[in-house]
């Protein structure tokens, strides 16, 4: 049932499947293995701001292994959140670096004036643009995590704690009308006659922006669930776990019969989310095409290869013929559009804070990364004018991305690309099982 044209955009699912399988997936997988993108700095110790936590998860598959300092490439470890800029990579200027609150040593070829300006801009990185709570990279609790050693998969984390997190996201942040009583959370127990596809008539009454918001969150939830179904703990023999696709779990979450028609809708929302992030990548390309931007790890050759691969992916995203048109959003009268955009941003920021309430470290890591990636994509889509005005050879005041945002953006899109690939595999497995 997951075929045809998606609502709210002129794009069909088969085109996305082909585009993802043949163009995006192989390249993004390769990109995620590069040092620049595999190390993500994250604070997994921030307390939940909304309710008392019921203790961290004791299941061993929930545990995240932080990186020993010795393993982290020197260029990443050097401290600055804007470390991908060439101007920030000259270690000769160590005193400047200390003085600048560890924001990055400035290349001595710059004038003192632009030196100060760059430090200033980096420090006051326009917080209005942030759709997410950014983890403070300088917090002693923030640590580097090797994403390749901590893959997203089923951990056994479920029950009241997981339920409360998703419930809080759906009920308090998805613009649900007061007249709708049934919980939006797909994990909610069945509620009789207002179940299934017919329940979603309330969505039609929402404005486009609020509909989009709900679909993004639903798509993210579907994507996370797909990863858990595709990398499920199947059995443990001789103390060695074996991971693989779990058909029963997949059907429970997505089968049209078992979900009363809601499963295909959830999967369509995954495709919608993929389109939104794809659009953001095509829009942010000019930012990275500038010679000043260098994905710096300290290994000159690898850094050049990584940038070439990234630019190659951007070329592919630009070639996609059926992009979502974000100009249709926040297009009403100026005052109304501005307050709606602000509401949208605050709701999203709230969801990123809820991720600090996830009781399982590994789930928290991937939840934070994927919400930050989506938040960065939204920031890009709503900064088009600033991106067009970027100077070629100096840091930009109007629009900047921190290293953490870049790593989250590409890895989050990598997870969506993987989800769509995994969905293909499940389709094949379903046909065989019939």
Q: 57, 97, 174, 363: which is the annotated catalytic residue? A: 363
For residue 78, what are its two tokens?
């050097």
Query: Residue ranges of the alpha helices (H) in 183-261?
Result: 201-204, 208-230, 247-254
Q: Tell whether residue 46 is among the known ligand binding residues.
A: no
Q: Tell whether residue 155 is among the known ligand binding residues.
A: yes
Look at the block and give the residue holding tokens 């400035």. 106
Q: Of 338, 331, 369, 333, which Cα lies nearest the Cα of 134?
A: 369
Please, are residues 355 and 367 in contact by the beta-carbon 8 Å criterion?
A: yes
In whole angstroms, how far apart are CA 131 and each of 57, 127, 401? Answer: 28, 9, 12
For residue 279, what are its two tokens?
């659009």
Q: Tell whether residue 253 is among the known ligand binding residues.
A: yes
Pairing of strands 232-237, 240-244: antiparallel
CA distance 432 to 256: 18
Helices vs. strands in the chain: H and E counts, helices first: 16, 4
CA distance 264 to 266: 5
Q: Tell whether residue 164 is among the known ligand binding residues.
A: no
Active site residue 363: yes
CA distance 234 to 92: 53
Please, are residues 401 and 287 in contact by the beta-carbon 8 Å criterion?
A: yes
Q: Tell whether residue 153 is among the known ligand binding residues.
A: yes
Q: Tell whether residue 347 is among the known ligand binding residues.
A: no
Active site residue 360: yes
Please, are residues 208 and 328 in contact by the beta-carbon 8 Å criterion?
A: yes
Q: 11, 62, 97, 360: which is the annotated catalytic residue? A: 360
SS3 179: coil
DSSP class of residue 144 equals: E
Enumerate the active-site residues.
360, 363
Binding-site residue set for FAD: 153, 155, 166, 218, 221, 253
Binding residues: 153, 155, 166, 218, 221, 253
């Amino acid at each position: 049932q997951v075929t045809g044209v998606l609502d709210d955009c002129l794009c069909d699912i088969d085109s996305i499947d082909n585009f993802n399988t043949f163009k995006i997936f192989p390249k993004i997988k390769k990109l995620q293995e590069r040092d620049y993108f595999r190390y993500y700095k994250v604070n997994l110790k921030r307390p939940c701001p909304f309710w008392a936590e019921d203790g961290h998860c004791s299941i061993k598959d929930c545990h995240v292994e932080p990186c020993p300092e010795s393993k982290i490439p020197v260029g990443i470890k050097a401290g600055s959140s804007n470390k991908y800029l060439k101007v920030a990579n000259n270690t000769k200027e160590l005193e400047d670096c200390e003085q600048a609150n560890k924001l990055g040593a400035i290349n001595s070829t710059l004038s003192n004036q632009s030196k100060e300006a760059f430090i200033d801009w980096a420090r006051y990185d326009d917080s209005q643009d942030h759709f997410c709570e950014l983890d403070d990279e300088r917090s002693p609790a923030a640590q580097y995590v090797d994403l390749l050693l901590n893959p997203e998969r089923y951990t056994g984390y479920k029950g009241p704690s997981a339920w409360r997190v998703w419930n809080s996201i759906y009920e308090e942040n998805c613009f649900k009308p007061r007249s709708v009583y049934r919980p939006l959370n797909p994990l909610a127990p069945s509620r009789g006659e207002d179940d299934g596809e017919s329940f979603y008539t309330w969505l039609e009454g929402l404005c486009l922006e609020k509909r989009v918001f709900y679909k993004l969150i639903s798509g993210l939830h579907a994507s996370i669930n797909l990863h858990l179904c595709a990398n499920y703990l199947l059995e443990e023999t001789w103390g060695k776990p074996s991971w693989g696709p779990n058909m029963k779990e997949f059907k429970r979450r997505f089968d049209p019969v078992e979900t009363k028609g809601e499963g295909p809708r959830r999967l369509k929302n995954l495709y919608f989310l993929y389109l939104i992030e794809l659009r953001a990548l095509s829009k942010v390309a000019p930012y990275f095409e500038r010679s000043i931007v260098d994905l710096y790890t300290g290994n000159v050759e690898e850094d050049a290869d990584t940038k070439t691969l990234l630019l190659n992916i951007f070329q592919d995203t630009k070639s996609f013929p059926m992009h979502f048109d974000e100009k249709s959003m926040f297009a009403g009268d100026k005052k109304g559009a501005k307050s709606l955009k602000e509401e949208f941003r605050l709701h999203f920021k709230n969801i990123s804070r809820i991720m600090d309430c996830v009781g399982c470290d590994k789930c928290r890591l991937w939840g934070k990364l994927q919400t930050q990636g989506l938040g960065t994509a939204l920031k890009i889509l709503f900064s088009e004018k600033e991106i067009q005005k970027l100077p070629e050879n100096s840091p930009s005041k109007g629009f900047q991305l921190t290293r953490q945002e870049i790593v989250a953006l590409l890895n989050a899109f990598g997870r969506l690309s993987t989800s769509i690939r995994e969905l293909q595999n499940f389709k094949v497995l379903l046909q065989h099982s019939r």
